[in-house]
Amino acid sequence: MPSKPAQTTSHPPDKDAKPRKVGFVSLGCPKNLVDSEVMMGLLSRAGAQLTPHAEDADILVVNTCSFIDTAQQESVDTILEMARHKTQGRAQKLIVAGCLVERYRQQIQKEIPEVDAVVGTGELEQILAAAGLAAPSPEAASPFPILNSRPEAHARERAGRFSREEWTGALAGLPQYLYDENTPRILATPPHLAYIKIAEGCDHPCSFCIIPQLRGKFRSRRFESVIAEAERLVRGGVREITLIGQDTTCYGEDLGLKDGLALLLERLARIEELRWVRFLYAYPNKITPSLLETIARHEKICSYIDVPLQHASPAVLKRMKRGGGAEIYLRSIAKMRRTIPHLTLRTSFIVGFPGETAADFAELCDFVRAAEFDWMGVFAYSDEDGSAAHSLSGKTPARTIESRRRRVMEIQRRISRRKKRALVGRTFDAVLEGPSEETEMLWEARGPMHAPEIDGKLFINDFGSHAPQSGRFYRCQITEAFEYDLIARLL
């Protein structure tokens, strides 16, 4: 195989040609996964064959994440790994898609010449032109086409692989794309599980976040479109749906709906063969009484709320441009738990935000002890170019950040151990996902308190008279508990 990338051409697809095999690598969050599923659906409908094996692919697509530095580095490493399949293997084209494209569109093509085309988060339908399966866009005259190029803003280099001389996604050209119920998708999840993206983008001004630059302003899908997609998925065998968006609790506001998420959940709960529905993520001041009451009223709606609070110190939250504080949050949490029996509450925090003092951190630790979350993640602050926080003074040393992250996670470990042990003897429904990678003697499962691929594990070690089947729901009883994981038997 030549070491130089193949030139893209303007020739229409050859109807008599053998179908091209396309391999996908999808990185990052479930929102990215849905984007990958949409691109796979579009390619499949255009005649491409999908393969899970990179070495068998004629075309490779890497859908990237660029939310923080570690995700960016993983994306770059994966692109370089896939590039070797061009220079040393069968692949003829390498396409890079997703959030990294929105940040470093020009740099990707300059620094990694094996890349033939880039597709941003608002350009999913351009995957066909990039793969040579549809008439290319006008920009395709270049060997490295910039699909749907937008104006660039400029930012200075601080760290990372790219020089960051140019920053794409200026306000005049933010992504606008939003798929609907008629868009083809090929699920990359187990057959019983699917994500539905109910909104895209974000309007919140959080100073640490660059999501609005990467995915555009907040925009909801039509109510009827979400319902139609859910019904189609359930007819196809899906039994668990997770609604996703950067802030699902804002769903419908731009459409004039009041309590749009509550209305949507209420309607989804009436789909007869659907077993579970949950949503990710909730914004603290958007959790309404109507939403809580809707969750409490329907057994199919998992009693699970993921509300990333980010911090508990009012001073830090003010600099984050979020507002709130420990006292306000504790009152809100108490109301959630009063309204929803057996509520599972998950959150995440950022430590080491610019200006975070020892007193601010102590307030966060006290809040974690008082709130007693069921699940919690803690992220080290990542100083991202393009975010408002990037220009703030009072940067916390990396060693201090890591020390604080470990300390607050140790507090949570003790809480989690106690809360998990309190579950021993409790019974609930669980979905079997398959044999454990650790040992064939155990199967992995999830209960209502486990969001897919996020929370601790539920292991089944006693099947009773059942012949276990992946994707089936069973009644189970917790027999042992650890810091994050549970062991149960089927009843």
Q: Residue 432: phi, psi to the nearest 5?
A: -80, 135
Whole-prediction pTM value?
0.87
Helices (H), 114-215: 127-130, 211-215
**% residues pLDDT > 90 (the chain):** 78
Task: Please give the class, per CATH, of domain 427-490.
Answer: mainly beta
Q: Which pLDDT score, from 0 to 100, does residue 485 have?
A: 95
Reported as a single tens digit per residue, the pLDDT across 110-146 is: 899 999 999 999 999 999 999 998 643 444 333 333 2
What totals of helices (H) and strands (E) does the chain contain, helices first? 12, 20
Name residues whose C-beta falls within 8 Å of residue 60's C-beta, 6 or more positions apart in sequence: 22, 23, 24, 25, 54, 82, 85, 86, 91, 93, 94, 95
Q: Is the pLDDT of residue 465 over 90?
A: no
The fold adopted by the segment(s) 21-173 is Rossmann fold (3.40.50)
Strand, coil or helix: what is 337?
helix
Task: Give the tokens for residue 258.
Answer: 């009041």
Separation CA 193–CA 191 (nearest Å):
6
Spatial distance between the Cα atoms of 1 and 86, rounded to a whole number of angstroms: 7
Region 193-420: CATH code = 3.80.30.20
Domain boundaries, the chain: 21-173, 193-420, 427-490
Question: Each residue of 7-39: pLDDT tens digit?
Answer: 333 334 444 456 689 999 999 999 999 999 999
